[in-house]
Structure 1
């Protein structure tokens, strides 16, 4: 049950920030390294037995930069939520509405394939 709870947590993290021409996201140059909640979640993910299925997406939602934890787990059901830089869920957001999605992190042992 803990595996599924942790997987839900990963998919629940979608974070947004003000998008501008400056390459900083959420006030930092490298959100994977410099945002504590992303770094902490990555560390937790890497200690999970399902870590090879996790990845982090960056995209744009309503003019803001967003982040979303994804999973390519073939036997898991997951829900993807959108949240702001502080982790507050954006209730009306959907991953299908996130534009310009790109993978900005995946574990070294990733089994996910991306086109």
Structure 2
């Protein structure tokens, strides 16, 4: 009986909780909808002359989540602005090599950008 209880308790501890069941970013389940500042930035990125070239990335920088827009139009020269979970700009010289876990989290339906 004791061994059965030990196995049952072990199973509950091993399988009962999982960090990946409800992953959160910036304390919310869906930053695109739940972070008001980010939702507004996405709406602004959908301008008539640029939407098909824009996309939004999420990454980790020095242990914190950051967001930044990218553009795939080869004729544009732009500066990347990195923002934290509250929408504050992160200052300093940041390169793409400083970022980990980079992923595209939004692009418009008419996007011409390709990712490999």
TM-score normalised by the chain length of structure 1 = 0.74
Cα RMSD (Å)? 1.6
1:62-114: CA deviation from partner (whole Å, max 9, x where unpaired): 11111111111121111012222222222125141111111010000000010
Distance 2:28 2:95 in 1: 23
2:114 corresponds in structure 1 to 113
Conserved? CA contact 1:52–1:111, under 8 Å:
yes
Unaligned residue ranges in structure 2 (runs of 5+): 1-18
Distance 1:92 1:41 in 2: 21
TM-score normalised by the chain length of structure 2 = 0.74
Distance 1:48 1:33 in 2: 22
Cα distance, 1:26–1:112 mapped onto 2, change above 3 Å? same
2:39 corresponds in structure 1 to 39
Ranked by relative contact order (alpha carbons within 8 Å, sequence separation 6 or more), the top structure is 1
Unaligned residue ranges in structure 1 (runs of 5+): 1-20
Conserved? CA contact 1:24–1:30, under 8 Å:
yes
2:10 corresponds in structure 1 to none
Distance 2:57 2:93 in 1: 15
2:59 corresponds in structure 1 to 59
Task: List structure 1 runs of 4+ shifted beyond 4 angstroms.
Answer: none
2:90 corresponds in structure 1 to 90
More strand by share: 1
Conserved? CA contact 1:81–1:94, under 8 Å:
no
**Count of aligned residue pairs for this structure pair:** 95
2:3 corresponds in structure 1 to none
